[in-house]
Amino acid sequence: MTSRVYSTPQEARGYQSRQGLIAIPNDSGPVPTPEVGDQRPLPSWLRKTLDRGGRFLSRWGLPLALLALALQAGLSLLGDSATFDETAHLVAGYTYLDRWDFRLNPEHPPLGKMWAAWPLRITGPGKVDYHSPHWASANQWGLGYEFLNGPIDREERRDPRDRLMPARLAMLGFGVALALVVYGWSKDLWGKSGGLLSLLLWTVQPAEEGLLCRRRRLLRAAVCLLGGGTLALGCLWACYGLRCEVSGGPDCALTWDRLEPGDGPAGTLIGLAKSARLLPEAYSQGGISWSRRSSWPMPLLPSSRFPVISRTSISSRGAPSGGARFLADSNLDWGQDLPGLKRWMDSQGVNEVHLAYFGTADPRAYGIRYKKVHLFIDYRPREATSYPRSGEYLAASVTLLQGLYAPDPVREFLGEVQRRRPPVGRAGDSIHIFEMP
């Protein structure tokens, strides 16, 4: 006779009770009689369906969620022009790896930018022009523009996708890895169902996430924070090559005239950190701009903030016809829809548009012929501005249409255009197209 093995004493008692081997007293009193209105048991077919669904999610929930994340981001990566921060972040990360020089984009920590640039550094699809005046002046936007599109003074444009796609795929891999961390951590705390729920939230909104370590005792929490802070500080110094100076050579030095006494407590702490050489110079100066946006001196803390090189499901935040009424800037418009504008022009037989563009990409690199109404970052300031006449088309970014980041004449003109008639077309979510009456 084979003996049955039980995992817990409760399981053994339950089995023996069902077999009539022992009697378990019932101290809970008589079983209450069901009242009118009590829920009835689920039908057997529905209970079986739910059981099958639970088993399916338990087996396939993790790979399906990761696949949804990869497809959602991958389709976006293939169809977008260079988004706003990619122009500066990518060239900055490349120069960090190539020369360990941190003069570009000091306002953001380097690790995410370096991670995005390492495929370019290894495969070598292009090099940075260190003879450009933009490098000597630490002009991250001008140098990044040339890195992606070619020299500004040349008519021939380089295909920016040759540099953007490897960087975007690297960041996609990083996002999938973080999704696995979120799933594993949540599963450890709340079980498999909690892990799948956290993974679902990460999949539909893969933006910056914070992971909190829950501890019951204050001493353990303090040790956790101290250890985590020390580890983060070490990683921060390692990202800057264990060097305080921004550059290994004498050709570039950051100016500190932007640090003023009126910058408040955060500015004071930044100045002390600079004087005591507690943090890398580029990281300290990057905190100046952030200290003016918030009274909390977050830039001094070793940051886990990773700049996302590609947009993350911007279109899911609102329908194309309604999102611009509530959202602007990076919530909706990162200058990502130039390919969509080119497709609209080809489908409508439009050879040229007047362009008011909020972004850092080069419209000519995507085959768009345009006359300049307003460019938020104007790489060719000598080109004259031109307003559309009757029968001509205006393509305008929704951020500028909302009156943001535009000079008064452009703001008034765009406002008048919107009041006179609705758009005749849209490129993605971020560019509206008008035909002048």
Specify the higher pLDDT residue, 143 or 53.
Answer: 143
- 2-31 per-position pLDDT tens digit: 556 555 665 665 555 555 554 455 555 555
Specify the higher pLDDT residue, 307 or 256.
Answer: 256
Give CA separation, 373 vs 242, 332, 364, 395, 410, in Å.
46, 21, 15, 9, 8
The tokens for 64 are 């399906």
Least Cα distance to 383 among 372, 367, 394, 391 occurs for 372
C-alpha 435/C-alpha 437 separation (Å) is: 6
Does the structure show a pLDDT above 50 at 308?
no
How much is the mean pLDDT over the chain? Answer: 75
DSSP state of 431: E
Name the phi and psi angles at 35, rounded to 5: -95, 165
- 382-410 per-position pLDDT tens digit: 889 999 999 999 999 999 999 888 899 99
- 231-280 per-position pLDDT tens digit: 777 776 676 766 666 665 555 555 555 444 445 666 667 677 767 777 77
**Sheet with 425-427, edge to edge strand ranges:** 370-375, 353-357, 393-397, 431-435, 425-427
- Let me know if 97 is exposed, middle or buried by CB neighbors in 10 A (0-12, 13-18, 19+): middle
Does the structure show a pLDDT above 60 at 37?
no
Distance of CA 40 to the CA centre of its chain: 47
Domain boundaries, the chain: 61-210+304-312, 237-302, 319-435
What is 20-77 written as a DSSP string?
A: TSS-----S-SPPPPPTTPPPPPPHHHHHHHHHHHHHHHHHHHHHHHHHHHHHHHHHH
C-alpha 44/C-alpha 17 separation (Å) is: 26
Confidence of residue 186 (pLDDT cuts 50, 70, 90): confident
Name the phi and psi angles at 109, rounded to 5: -60, 155
What is the rounded average pLDDT of the residues 32-52? 62
Least Cα distance to 395 among 381, 374, 379, 411 occurs for 374
> Angle formed by the axes of helices 86-99 and 161-204, to 10°?
110
Does the structure show a pLDDT above 70 at 207?
no
Q: Is 303 helix (H, G, I), strand (E, B) or coil?
A: coil
Type of residue found at 312: T
